[in-house]
Amino acid sequence: MEEKIKKHNSSWQDGIAKNITFIVTKDCQLACKYCYLVGKNTKERMSWEVAKQAIDYILDNEEDFKEDSVIWDFIGGEPFLEIELIDKICDYIKVELYRRNHHWFNSYRFSFSTNGINYHTDKVQDFIKKNREHLSIGITIDGTQQKHDLNRIWKTPEMEQGIAPQPQEERGSYDDVVRNIPLWLEQFPGAGTKVTISSADIPYICESVLHLYSLGIHEVNINCVFEDVWKEGDDTLFEAQLMQLADAIIDGEYYKEYSCSFFTENMGKPMDCVYENTNWCGAGKMLSIDAAGNFYPCTRFAQYSLRDKKAWIIGNVNDGIDKNKLRPFFTLDRCTQSTQECIDCEVAGGCAWCQGENYDAADTPTIYQRATAICKMHKARVRANNYYWNKLYRKLELEGIAQEKAIEHTKMSDNKNNC
């Protein structure tokens, strides 16, 4: 029965590869409302010297980077604004991996999350052609045009001075992104998109996912933000939206060829503190580098991603990584950072957290205090998820019975004919 349901593609070398992120620029053509406010309004760009120093440090210390493969991740702001720098970085990486006979030679990927606006430009296209076999690119679209243009608006010169635009001056970016989707899907047929849900987005979830499917995107990775943004009643609304989405996916038989990460089997079970005690988040096992040449356990620990706390710097391109600063990340387990309520939770399975948000929201500067703003949303998701699987399996079961009956019927008629 399961072969009738499209499996969610896991990303390349998921959980095995070292993830190294270059924060190449903090600049972006857009000023998305959920992002701009946090402080990505600076123009800091990574220099070639810093990028080269970081690569040299990483490749010089091969024994500290034992993972079988590597994902070189480029983020921003908008990374493709720095396509020339990225091209130079990638060329240098390839040459150096070869020259050093490094164990990552032929086991690497370049990965991008882009707003998609510059996707069609010659420079980006040339880069894609050159590195096609080693690329993953995700384009962010929020859903329907209405939903996308609500948040993802073009930046105006005034906004660079910190002045918010009048609503009538806001210009959405939907058309500028969507025109590049066919080319993107042609080049990366299995590509998925990431959608992040905040309180205001809840009413649009169902239509947005279906819209993304209609654009030809078969995989929608969607999750609620971890920040404490949820209002009274959001969980009820969220559950209703997910049920509506569940009905649409099942009735429209989208489950055969499309997936949505909200619906995941085997989530929502109690968890054991001994056998299921691993940390959720990969912070610390990753490495981020910013324009100043500082190293972070993940981008969420860089200053521009933090609201209330100071950047969690674990070293820099000159002095290297201070391994003592990584010890907390490597020994952090689920139960030590969880409240008793989370430990005892009947539906704990699949309840995610972000180490950076935990740090940002904690009462003291620690990664050992799990933020639980997501709790009621997770519980709502579990209920809708249970509904989805119960309904889908029953449908498939009934179809199976119907099919068996049909076969039986055919056989009987065949037999009759034989007589």
Partner 1 sequence: MLQYLIIQLDDTSTSYCHYTNIRNEKRLISLDDLRAGILWAMKENLMIQYVLPDYELPAEYIEEMESIDNSKIVSSHSTMINNADVIVLNGWEKGFTFRENGIYVLRITKDSLFAYSEEIKMVLPAVTRLNIVITDVETFTDADCETYKIVLESFAKEVEKLYVAGKSPQLNLLTDRMMLDKMNNCNAGYESITLAPDGCFYVCPAFYLANEDDDFGLGKSKYNVGNLIDGLDIKNPQLYRLDHAPICRHCDAYQCKRCVWLNRKTTYEVNTPSREQCVVAHIERNVAAQLLTSIRTYGEFLPERNGIEVLECLDPFEKANKW
Among 33, 88, 325, 379, binds partner 1 (CB under 8 A): 325
Q: Which is nearer to partner 1, 169 or 333 (CB)?
A: 333
Among 331, 390, 403, 410, binds partner 1 (CB under 8 A): 331
Q: Which is nearer to partner 1, 23 or 306 (CB)?
A: 306
Among 4, 129, 132, 327, binds partner 1 (CB under 8 A): 327
**Pair 311, 303: CB distance under 8 Å:** yes
**Pair 21, 289: CB distance under 8 Å:** yes
Least distance CB 333 / partner 1 (angstroms):
6
Among 92, 304, 368, 387, binds partner 1 (CB under 8 A): 368
Work out whether 328 is an interface residue with partner 1 (CB under 8 A): yes
Interface size with partner 1, residues (CB under 8 A): 22
Least distance CB 355 / partner 1 (angstroms):
12
Q: Report 294-323 residues binding partner 1 (CB under 8 A).
A: 309-310, 312-313, 323
Site string for partner 1, 68-107 (x = CB under 8 A): ----------------------------------------
Least distance CB 305 / partner 1 (angstroms):
15
Per CB under 8 A, which region of 25-33, 127-135, 350-358, 364-372 contacts partner 1? 364-372
Per CB under 8 A, which region of 214-222, 328-336, 349-357, 377-385 contacts partner 1? 328-336
Q: Which is nearer to partner 1, 354 or 392 (CB)?
A: 354
Helices 83-99 + 122-131 axis angle, to 10: 20
**Pair 16, 269: CB distance under 8 Å:** no
**Pair 112, 137: CB distance under 8 Å:** yes
Work out whether 417 is an interface residue with partner 1 (CB under 8 A): no
Q: Which is nearer to partner 1, 370 or 378 (CB)?
A: 370
Per CB under 8 A, which region of 47-55, 195-203, 219-227, 363-371 contacts partner 1? 363-371
Among 304, 369, 373, 379, binds partner 1 (CB under 8 A): 369
Residues with Cβ within 8 Å of 115's Cβ and at least 6 positions away in sequence, in order, are 28, 29, 30, 78, 139, 140, 152, 173, 177
Work out whether 61 is an interface residue with partner 1 (CB under 8 A): no
Q: Which is nearer to partner 1, 273 or 398 (CB)?
A: 273
Least distance CB 370 / partner 1 (angstroms):
11
Least distance CB 330 / partner 1 (angstroms):
6
Site string for partner 1, 332-351 (x = CB under 8 A): xx--x---------------
**Pair 68, 13: CB distance under 8 Å:** yes
- Say how far apart CA 54 and CA 294 lie, in whole Å: 9
- Say how far apart CA 277 and CA 4 lie, in whole Å: 32
Q: Which is nearer to partner 1, 225 or 332 (CB)?
A: 332
Among 3, 14, 63, 363, binds partner 1 (CB under 8 A): 363
Per CB under 8 A, which region of 22-30, 63-71, 282-290, 360-368 contacts partner 1? 360-368
**CA atoms within a 13 Å half-sphere pointing along the CA-CB vector of 194:** 13
Least distance CB 309 / partner 1 (angstroms):
7
Give CA angle at 17 (16, 19), nearest 5°: 135
Tell me which residue of 170, 209, 157 sits closest to 32, measured CA to CA. 170
List of residues contacting partner 1 (CB under 8 A): 309-310, 312-313, 323-325, 327-328, 330-333, 336, 362-369
